[in-house]
């Protein structure tokens, strides 16, 4: 119908080879015939039979990236009929979230903006689409778009502005605005809770640590899902000091905590009927006369001891206490998210997160949620022999595998010591949580990876 209204202009573009429909291909038309819009951007989706969640999200983000380099009042996307495997609600949610994602950048502190989010974002249903389903998808997209934007903003904030206390204050604001229950544990509370591993990491900084606990009660009864996020608001490596090149983007080491906070906001705004406990462990890792040292032995919350052989392997230390705390709150299933290891980036690259687990059935559900959200996870093995890598001569375990091999897995094997029998999935998001450079899909900086996976998981829980 659009082509007919435009006097078959789209058909002629295809016939001349000026447009092919390949994935991410864009073809701009100015003052197009037969429609009210001043500009029309055609975006390729590839073959209909191969259309999937990630492709829809990416296409919308690519279109928004191209259109929002100049001020724009209204931006609308004509939804594609992607076929029976992608329902109208899903298509609308993915397209809407992608548009939101592509309309924003990392330049929070630039005096002159480089990207201009439109005042209105709209979705236009294809003929015959279920209007109610499209409207539900649009509402989901708006909620998820705001949540992903929150996660990206937190990751992109400079570490002089975002540190454990200011992150906790932001979490309090989110809780107050959305009706979440919020408890913030300070140093005294953490000591009373026996979180000695977390406190040891925080010792080197003048900024005191915090543990933020958010609870969402969407049902009166039923099981509780636990989410734990690593929140190292700046990671210098401690006494195992990073180089400048390694340290320059370490404001992003709190992306796991940002993801948990953003997903909790989305649940509360969407009023998903589920019970979720979100825990964010917040520290700075800096060197000083008070910093933890190589050879220190830490007594974690659950009574196990950890020999510190690398102070730059700090994320697993704070997660150890946070996971043990969350298990003690009687959650029924667990997911943690952490920018934990460079080894996971070496294994999987920048676009895919590793997933490691003590329960394959639970991991499969987490992976299915990621696929539905258009985000990429890949399972890594957790066979028992990997635990040999973290055995210590002087303590129950050491905080590093001691070699270049299987670094993401040895880190996960240490975390496994703190979850007991609770079904648990560990997402190492070190690669996809941060983008070093701009591309056609998103700007450099925080990506908000994992927010939509968590929300999708919660929608279908238990």
| 365 part of the active site | no
Residues 6+ apart with CB under 8 A from 233: 159, 162, 163, 164, 167, 207, 251, 253, 254, 282, 283, 284
| 251 part of the active site | no
Q: Which residue among the candidates 139, 217, 242, 459 is catalytic per the annotation?
A: 242
Peptide linkage before 338 cis (omega within 30 of 0): no
Q: Which residue among the candidates 203, 251, 316, 442 is catalytic per the annotation?
A: 316
Q: What are the catalytic residues?
A: 242, 316
């Amino acid at each position: 119908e659009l082509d007919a209204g435009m006097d078959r202009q789209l058909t002629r573009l295809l016939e001349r080879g000026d447009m092919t429909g390949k994935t991410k291909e864009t073809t701009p038309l100015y003052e197009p015939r037969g429609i009210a819009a001043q500009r029309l951007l055609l975006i390729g989706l590839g073959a209909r039979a191969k259309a999937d969640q990630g492709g829809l999200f990416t296409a919308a983000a690519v279109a928004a990236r191209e259109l929002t380099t100049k001020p724009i009042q209204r931006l609308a996307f004509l939804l594609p009929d992607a076929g029976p495997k992608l329902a109208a609600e899903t298509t609308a949610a993915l397209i809407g979230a992608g548009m939101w994602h592509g309309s924003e950048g990392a330049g929070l502190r630039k005096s002159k903006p480089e990207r201009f989010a439109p005042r209105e974002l709209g979705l236009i249903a294809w003929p015959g689409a279920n209007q109610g389903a499209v409207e539900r998808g649009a509402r989901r997209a708006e909620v998820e778009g705001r949540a992903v934007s929150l996660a990206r903003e937190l990751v992109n904030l400079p570490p002089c502005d975002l540190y454990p206390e200011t992150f906790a204050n932001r979490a309090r604001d989110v809780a107050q605005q959305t009706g979440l229950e919020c408890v913030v544990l300070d140093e005294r509370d953490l000591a009373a809770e026996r979180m000695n591993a977390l406190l040891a990491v925080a010792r080197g900084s003048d900024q005191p640590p915090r543990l933020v606990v958010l609870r969402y009660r969407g049902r009166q009864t039923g099981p509780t899902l636990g989410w734990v996020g690593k929140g190292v608001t700046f990671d210098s490596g401690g006494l195992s000091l990073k180089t400048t090149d390694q340290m320059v983007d370490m404001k992003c080491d709190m992306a796991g905590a940002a993801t948990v906070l953003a997903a909790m906001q989305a649940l509360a705004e969407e009023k998903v009927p589920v019970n979720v406990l979100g825990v964010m462990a917040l520290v700075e890792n800096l060197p000083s006369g008070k910093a933890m040292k190589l050879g220190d032995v830490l007594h974690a919350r659950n009574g196990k001891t950890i020999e510190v052989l690398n102070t730059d392997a700090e994320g697993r230390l704070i997660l150890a206490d946070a996971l043990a705390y969350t298990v003690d709150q009687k959650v029924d299933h667990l997911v943690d998210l952490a920018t934990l290891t460079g080894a996971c980036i070496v294994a999987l690259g920048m676009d895919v997160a590793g997933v490691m687990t003590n329960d394959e059935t639970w991991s499969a559900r987490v992976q299915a949620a990621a696929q539905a959200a258009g985000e990429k996870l890949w399972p890594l093995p957790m066979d028992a022999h990997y635990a040999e890598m973290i055995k210590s001569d002087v303590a129950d375990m050491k905080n590093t595998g001691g070699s270049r091999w299987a670094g993401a897995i040895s880190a996960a094997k240490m975390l496994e010591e703190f979850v007991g029998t609770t079904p648990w999935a560990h997402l190492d998001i070190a690669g996809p949580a941060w983008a070093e450079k701009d591309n056609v899909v998103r700007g450099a900086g925080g990506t908000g990876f994992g927010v939509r996976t968590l929300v999708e998981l919660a929608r279908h829980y238990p």
